Amino acid sequence: MARRKLVAGNWKMHGLASDIAEVSAIAESAKEYGEVDVALCLPATLIERASRAVPTFAIGGQDVHGAQKGAHTGDISAAMLTDAGAKLTIVGHSERRTDHGESDAAVRAKAETALASGLDVILCVGESLEVRERGDALAVVTAQLEASLPTNDTASFGATGLAVAYEPIWAIGTGKVPSIADIAEMHAALRGRLVAAYGDAGQAVRILYGGSVKASNANEIFGVDDVDGALVGGASLKAEDFLPIVEAAAGR
C-alpha cells in the first residue's frame, strides 16, 4: 500500500523565541516537497508563537496528558495543545518513558485522549541496547506496541491520524543505526501487529523510523518496505540538516 511519507522533527528541550526564524525557514522550504508531510514537534513554550509564524505548517507537541484536565502540575492537556495551534503530538518517547516512568498504559491513555481531541499522534516504541543484544528486540517492541496502541475507533482518526515511530533507544542521539535488515524486520513485525489490531486500517498507519537519521543515511532507510518516514531529533534543529532528509523522503 502506498503511504505518504511523514518526516517529523523533535526539538526536545531546545529552542527559544529567537529560533522561530529557523522554524519559518524549515516551513518555507518544506513547501517545495508537497508529496511529503513535514512537521516540527516543539517545546510547549514555542507552539503558539510558531503556529502564528507558520499557520499552514504542522506544529506539534512532544507530550500530552492522558486526562482532559485536572490537578496535574506541569503537564499539558490536549485542549491546551490544540488551543496553542498544535496539530499533532508525540507520545511515549523513550526519554519520557525513562525520565518520567511512563508506562505503556499511560502512553495508551495519552494517545487515546490526543486522538479524541483531534490531534494526530506519533506513538514511539523501541528497545534498549541490552534487549537488542540478548535477541529480544522483536518480542519486546511488539509487546510494547500492543500495550500502548490506542483503542479509539480507527474511523475516528483516519488514515494519517496515527503514526508509530520505531526508535531503538540505543540509536537515539548516538550516531548508531540498526542494520537495514533489522529495521526491515522490525517494521514488518510492527505492520503485522497494526493489521492484527486495526484490520485494513492498520495498513494505512505510518511507521516511522527514528534514531540518528541524517542526510547521509536517509535514502537507504526510506528505501525499506514499511518505513513511511522518520522522526528526527538532532538533525531537525537546522534547516540545512533537516531539509535534505525531507528531500530523501520525497525520493528526489
Q: Which of 22, 112, 167, 247 is catalytic?
A: 167
Q: Which is nearer to ligand PEP, 144 or 212 (CB)?
A: 212
- Out of 42, 172, 186, 245, point to the residue binding ligand PEP (CB under 6 A): 172
Binding mask 8-27 for ligand PEP (x = CB under 6 A): --x-----------------
Identify each DSSP E strand in the chain by its residue range.
6-10, 37-41, 58-61, 88-91, 120-125, 162-166, 206-210, 229-232
49 contacts 40 by C-beta, under 8 angstroms: no
Q: Which is nearer to ligand PEP, 15 or 233 (CB)?
A: 233
Q: Which is nearer to ligand PEP, 198 or 227 (CB)?
A: 227
Please tell me whether residue 167 binds ligand PEP under the rule CB under 6 A: yes
> What is the DSSP-derived secondary structure letter of residue 173?
T
> Could you give the CA distance from residue 59 to residue 8 in angstroms, rounded to a whole number?
9
**Grid coordinates standing for 110?**
495519552
Please tell me whether residue 168 binds ligand PEP under the rule CB under 6 A: no
> Could you give the CA distance from residue 106 to residue 150 in angstroms, rounded to a whole number?
11
Q: Site residues for ligand PEP, window 209-248 (CB under 6 A)? A: 210-213, 231-235
Please tell me whether residue 173 binds ligand PEP under the rule CB under 6 A: yes
14 is known as an active-site residue: no
Total residues binding ligand PEP (CB under 6 A): 13
- Position of minimal CB gap to ligand PEP: 233
Q: Number of helices and strands (H, E) in the chain? A: 11, 8
User: For the purposes of burial, counting CB atoms within 10 Å of the CB of 163, is it exposed (0-12), middle (13-18) or buried (19 or more)?
Assistant: buried
Please tell me whether residue 77 binds ligand PEP under the rule CB under 6 A: no
Contacts with ligand PEP by CB under 6 A lie at 10, 167, 172-173, 210-213, 231-235
The residues annotated with a catalytic role in the active site are 93, 167
